[in-house]
C-alpha cells in the first residue's frame, strides 16, 4: 500500500520526537512563566501588605504620641494640684497653727511621698517642697479635739 523507505520512517520518527520535545519544552516554559507570574504577584501583594502595615504603624505612632502628650499634660496638672495642696497645707501648719497633729503629719508625709515619687519618675524638680516637708515634720505636735 504505502511504500515508505527506512529513511522516511526514521525522519518521521525523528520529527515526531522533536515535536514531542518541543511540546514538553513549551509546557515547561509555560509552567516557568506561570511560576514567575505567581512569584511576581506574591511580591506585589507582600509589598502592598507591607505598605499598609507601615501606614497603620505611622498612624498608630501618631495616636501614641498624641496620647503621650495628653498623659504628660494631665500628669503635670495633677502634680501642680498636689504641689499647691502641699504648699497650702504646709503654710497652714507652719504659719497659722505652728503645729500639726500626728495624723496631719502622717497624711502630709504620705501625700509628699507620692508627690516626690511621681516627680522623680518623671524627672521633675521639687526641692522647695522637700524643705517645706522637713519643716512640717519638725513642728511640735498638737492634739485634735
**Alpha-carbon gap, residue 110 to 101, rounded angstroms:** 14
| More confident site: 142 or 99 | 99
Q: How confident is the model at residue 47 (pLDDT cuts 50, 70, 90)?
A: very high
pLDDT at position 127, please?
A: 80
Sign of CA dihedral 84, 132, 143, 96: negative
Rounded-to-10 torsion of CA 79, 85, 87, 91 = 180
- Note the pLDDT tens digit of each residue in 110-121: 999 999 999 999
| Domain boundaries of the chain, sorted by first residue | 9-137
> How far from 9 is each of 1, 18, 77, 82, CA to CA, in Å?
15, 14, 100, 106
pLDDT at position 125, please?
A: 85
**Alpha-carbon gap, residue 7 to 59, rounded angstroms:** 77
**Alpha-carbon gap, residue 91 to 82, rounded angstroms:** 14
Q: What is the pTM of this model?
A: 0.62
pLDDT at position 2, please?
A: 64
- Note the pLDDT tens digit of each residue in 66-75: 999 999 999 9
- Note the pLDDT tens digit of each residue in 74-84: 999 999 999 99
Amino acid at each position: 500500500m504505502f511504500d515508505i523507505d527506512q529513511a522516511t520512517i526514521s525522519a518521521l520518527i525523528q520529527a515526531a520526537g522533536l515535536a514531542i520535545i518541543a511540546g514538553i519544552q513549551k509546557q515547561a516554559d509555560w509552567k516557568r512563566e506561570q511560576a514567575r507570574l505567581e512569584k511576581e504577584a506574591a511580591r506585589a501583594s507582600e509589598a502592598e501588605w507591607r505598605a499598609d502595615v507601615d501606614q497603620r504603624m505611622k498612624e498608630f505612632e501618631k495616636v501614641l504620641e498624641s496620647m503621650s502628650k495628653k498623659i504628660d499634660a494631665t500628669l503635670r496638672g495633677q502634680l501642680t494640684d498636689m504641689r499647691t495642696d502641699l504648699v497650702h497645707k504646709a503654710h497652714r501648719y507652719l504659719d497659722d497653727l505652728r503645729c500639726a497633729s500626728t495624723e496631719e503629719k502622717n497624711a502630709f508625709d504620705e501625700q509628699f511621698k507620692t508627690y516626690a515619687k511621681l516627680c522623680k519618675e518623671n524627672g521633675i524638680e521639687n526641692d522647695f517642697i522637700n524643705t517645706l516637708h522637713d519643716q512640717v515634720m519638725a513642728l511640735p505636735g498638737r492634739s485634735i479635739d
